[in-house]
């Protein structure tokens, strides 16, 4: 323990210690999906605050006033974008206006556009079901952290991003190998939500969206007969 830290520790109970006030840089991340990636990239180089709680719905989670203030005072904001985290994006916009560096990951990984129903032509935010795009996202997050967050060890961040990207590359290769054991004519994916569009594209699946598709989350309870019909075709 350094002398200054020791002195601070001794004084902490009295009036705080100005010498210890230097706070770690903070990266604020909207979704827990991006939070996982960002934590791997950042390691111990900065504080990573993830706003979405475990098991929350990325489309509908909200933030407290305190969290909104954290977004606007972050050293970097990592968000999904393309309309995903609907209740948080206005705070991200406010952060941009306050000159906080922000990284919209989905738009940076060549998003697909929806090809069915009334959302046709709009960009699809669910890029994380394609591991090759996740690998790209990891690299981009590493570049943003190294480029915008003062005080981090840039080479450590880039090395962490590269190492994690390599793991995802291995996962991608394994998934492809496994999916390739299924004949292409039988690769039909039945879902009630758009989330698997990227996975389907990456691994040559045809998507069958059921009538529950416009709901952000939920189960197949709406049309069980429809699911069974598609699944047995
Ligand atoms: Zn979704």
How is residue 102 written in tokens? 């922000």
C-alpha span between 230 and 210 (Å, rounded): 9
Question: Using an 8 Å Cβ cutoff, are 10 and 17 in contact?
Answer: no
Co-location of 148 and 191 in the same domain: no
Q: How many A from CA of 182 to the centre of ligand 1?
A: 26
Structural domain total, the chain: 2
Q: What's the pLDDT score for residue 22? A: 56
**Residue 32 main-chain phi, psi, to 5 deg:** -70, -20
Whether 73 and 115 share a structural domain? yes
* Å from CA of 18 to ligand 1 middle: 45
Pair 149, 114 in one domain: yes
Same domain, 188 and 140: no
Report how far apart, in Å, the C-alpha atoms of 172 and of each of 40, 41, 177, 179, 220 are.
17, 18, 9, 10, 28
What percent of the chain is modeled with pLDDT above 70?
Answer: 81
Return d(Cα 230, Cα 47) in angstroms, integer. 46
Distance from residue 115's CA to the centre of ligand 1 (Å)? 15
Is residue 119 located within the same domain as residue 139? yes
Distance from Cα 194 to the centre of ligand 1, integer Å: 6
Mean pLDDT of all residues in 214-228: 46
What's the CA-to-centroid distance between 154 and ligand 1, angstroms? 33
Q: Is residue 18 part of a domain?
A: no
CA of 85 to the centre of ligand 1 (A): 9
The rounded Å distance from CA 193 to ligand 1 centre is 7
Does 14 fall in a domain? no
Residue 113: is its pLDDT beyond 50? yes
Question: Is residue 13 domain-resident?
Answer: no
Alpha carbon of 124 to ligand 1 centroid (Å): 9
Report how far ligand 1's centroid is from the alpha carbon of 116 (Å).
15
* 58 within domain boundaries: yes
Residues 162 and 128 in one domain: yes
Residues with a beta carbon under 5 angstroms from ion ligand 1? 195
Centre of ligand 1 from the C-alpha of residue 218, in Å: 10
Note whether residue 171 is domain-resident: yes
Lowest-confidence region among 36-45, 49-58, 155-164, 185-194:
185-194
**Could you list the residue range(s) of the whole structural domain that residue 216 is in?**
179-232
pLDDT tens track for 38-59:
999 999 999 999 999 999 999 9
Both 186 and 147 in one domain: the answer is no
Q: What is the pTM of this model?
A: 0.82
Distance 30 CA to ligand 1 centre (A): 14
User: If you measure from the C-alpha of residue 211 to the centroid of ligand 1, how many angstroms do you get, rounded to a whole number?
Assistant: 15
Examine the domain organization and report whether 51 and 65 are in the same domain: yes
Do 185 and 174 share a structural domain? no
Ligand 1 center from residue 8 Cα (angstroms) = 47
**What percent of the chain has a predicted confidence (pLDDT) above 90?**
73
CATH code: domain of residue 63 = 3.40.50.1980
186, 167: one domain: no
- 38 with 106, same domain: the answer is yes
CA of 76 to the centre of ligand 1 (A): 24
């Amino acid at each position: 323990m350094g002398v200054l830290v020791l002195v601070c520790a001794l004084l902490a109970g009295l009036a705080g210690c100005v010498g210890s006030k230097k706070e770690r840089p903070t990266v604020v991340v909207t979704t827990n999906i991006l939070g996982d990636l960002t934590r791997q990239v950042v390691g111990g180089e900065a504080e990573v605050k993830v706003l979405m709680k475990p098991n929350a719905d990325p489309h509908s989670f909200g933030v407290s006033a305190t969290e909104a203030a954290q977004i606007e005072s972050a050293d970097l904001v990592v968000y999904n974008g393309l309309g995903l985290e609907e209740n948080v994006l206005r705070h991200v916009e406010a952060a941009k206006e306050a000159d906080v560096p922000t990284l919209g990951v989905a738009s940076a990984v060549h998003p697909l556009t929806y090809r069915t129903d009334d959302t046709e032509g709009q960009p699809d935010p669910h890029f994380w079901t394609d591991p090759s795009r996740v690998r790209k996202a990891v690299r981009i997050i590493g570049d943003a952290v190294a480029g915008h967050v003062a005080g981090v060890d840039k080479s450590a961040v880039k090395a962490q991003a590269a190492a994690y990207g390599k793991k995802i590359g291995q996962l991608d290769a394994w998934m492809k190998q496994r999916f390739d054991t299924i004949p292409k004519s039988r690769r039909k994916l039945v879902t009630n939500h758009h989330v698997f569009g990227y996975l389907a594209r990456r691994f040559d699946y045809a998507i069958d969206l059921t009538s529950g598709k416009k709901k952000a989350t939920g189960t197949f309870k709406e049309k069980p007969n429809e699911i069974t019909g598609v699944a047995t075709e």
